Amino acid sequence: MSTKPQSPYAVSVIDLLHKPGEMREKSFDVAEPEGFGNAVIGVRQGSSVHVDVRLESLHDGILASGDVDAVAEGECVRCLVDVSLPVEVEFQELFAYSEDEAFDYTIHDDYIDLEPVVRDAVVLSLPFQPVCQEDCLGLCPQCGVRLLDNPGHEHEAPVDPRWAALAGLEGLTDTESEAEKR
């Protein structure tokens, strides 16, 4: 008797084992137990992941072809506002009957675990540097104001430190000219 793996992505294939040509489809939703992605964006723990999978029995194993729908959350790398992106990816992987063959995945106890396949497909589809919008201007390098919120944002041109000592002379000329007028 087989025991179901702990993974919520585990799918029973007992009805397809060693029956080449047999096929069935399955849809399921998973509350992602761990979350996955990179440091900037990813599918967070507890987020809903929808999987539609088509399972086909072959001579070598079970071919799993499917679609994954989820929402990735993170922050814009330019202006640091929260970003939420829909993730829609496809996958196709063969789960082999025998561990001796050169396949990445195998069938264990009449189940296939789609978790590593789904994780790989989603993570590889995520943007390396997500932005809130394509023309995001980012933050002001001097004060940190978000430039999309303040399009006319400007600062005075910085004074060259070599000329900074002369800034005090401006007041002296005004004082001398007033004294000369008297």
pLDDT on residue 154: 81
Is residue 78 within 8 Å of residue 40, measured between CB atoms? no
Domain boundaries of the chain, sorted by first residue: 10-125
pLDDT on residue 97: 87
pLDDT on residue 176: 54
Is residue 142 within 8 Å of residue 39, measured between CB atoms? no
Question: Comparing 158 with 139, which gets the higher pLDDT?
Answer: 139
* Closest residue by Cα to residue 16 from 100, 94, 101: 94
Query: Any bridge partners for residue 79, and if so which?
Result: none
pTM: 0.75
Question: Comparing 158 with 4, which gets the higher pLDDT?
Answer: 158
Handedness of CA 33, 42, 117, 87 (dihedral sign): positive
Q: What is the pLDDT of residues 52-103, one digit of tens each?
A: 999 999 998 999 999 999 999 999 999 999 999 999 999 999 999 877 767 7
Exposure class string for 20-45: b at 16+ Cβ within 10 A, else e: eeeeeeeeeebebeeebbeebbbbbe
Is residue 35 within 8 Å of residue 73, measured between CB atoms? no
Neighbours of 62 (CB within 10 A): 24
Q: What is the pLDDT of residues 101-149, one digit of tens each?
A: 677 888 988 999 999 999 999 999 999 999 999 988 888 888 888 888 8
pLDDT on residue 103: 73
pLDDT on residue 3: 63
| 169-174-177-179 Cα dihedral, nearest 10 degrees | -100
